[in-house]
A and B are shown apart, each in its own frame.
Chain A
Amino acid sequence: MDVKLINPFINATSNVLETMAFVEVKAGDPYLKKDNVARGDVTGIIGLTGVANGTISVTFQEECILNIVSSMFGEKMEELNNEIADAVGELTNMISGQARKELEELGKVFKAAIPSVVTGKNHSISHYTDGPRIAIPFFVGEGSFTIEVCFER
């Protein structure tokens, strides 16, 4: 997979969270993920088509996403519910949009589908293509979340 495809997603994730949720996020080192198990409790996933086909997913730990959405709404969120799932879908959508904008500047044009959201402990993430899955952990205060980027070989 072209590593130039990865940086726009890291930049977009930081930009979206900092702008919409007013939180400072720090990206960890990317790694190759070899299983389908989500590293958290709620995942937004979105398909991309264009110069390559692939998917990106964003998986949050419960406490982390509750803090993020509380900050977005200016109201304390106490539990994983439909409002949280909806927010994860919209965050995924915005990350996809921002990353696609940066990729367009590199001459790589993608279109995105409407995101889906999966919740639950130890849920699995199925990417639509069989390419390598690059995972990037992010840290927000004491919480964390992970994005996965997977494009066809």
Chain B
Amino acid sequence: MAINWYKYASPASFYTLAGKMVPFFAIIAIGLLIAGLYIGFFVAPSDFQQGEAYRIIFIHVPAAWMSMFLYVVMAFWAGIGLAFNTRLSSMMATAIAPTGALFTFLALWTGSLWGKPMWGTWWVWDARLTSELILLFLYIGFMSLQAAIDDPRRADKAGAIIALVGVINIPIIYFSVQWWNTLHQGASVSVTQAPTMAATMLTGMMVMVFASWMYSIAVILKRVRVIILERESHTTWVAELREKGAL
């Protein structure tokens, strides 16, 4: 049976679909989170070089991956919204931004917590740290631009342009920062870990990565539902929901 995907481009039908999907993803996220943290803290052995401090990777690595991945997804939806003028795509982009910024912040924060015992400093101007910081600036720029515009459709389109300009610039910024760093012969530390990782460590990390995925999907769908209600509050289908007492 073919599914009519276009049906779900309508905020009204997507609202119901997302409502069904949120608990599903939320439960998986919680399950994976418990499993991942259990493996991370109780099963995985301590590292012979880094001791217990390496355990930060169970949060740090998923957060860093999600922060970059979510920016691309956000730019993708924003671009779709700009090209096809679909309202729901732009709402998705708006819903993704806070979660992406949260993960970026988490990656920076946990990274500096790890850096203190390992490198003896909270912050080094390493290429990866610097580009992650710039990524945070890009998220904040996107969100503050959308927040400054009162008309939601204009906010969608303006946000889409800055997200697309940002996504083109990310590789340029990344390589500039990397080259800048090598030129300056920065602090003689390396973020790269020992290449071999115990199997349980890898399992724990991957479980946490999936937990972050599921968490992001659940939270973003929840947030997009709120945005749909806010923007569609004048429509009849929302009024009907209100009458039925579903809100």
Check if A and B associate.
no
Using a CB–CB cutoff of 8 Å, the interface residues on chain A facing chain B are none
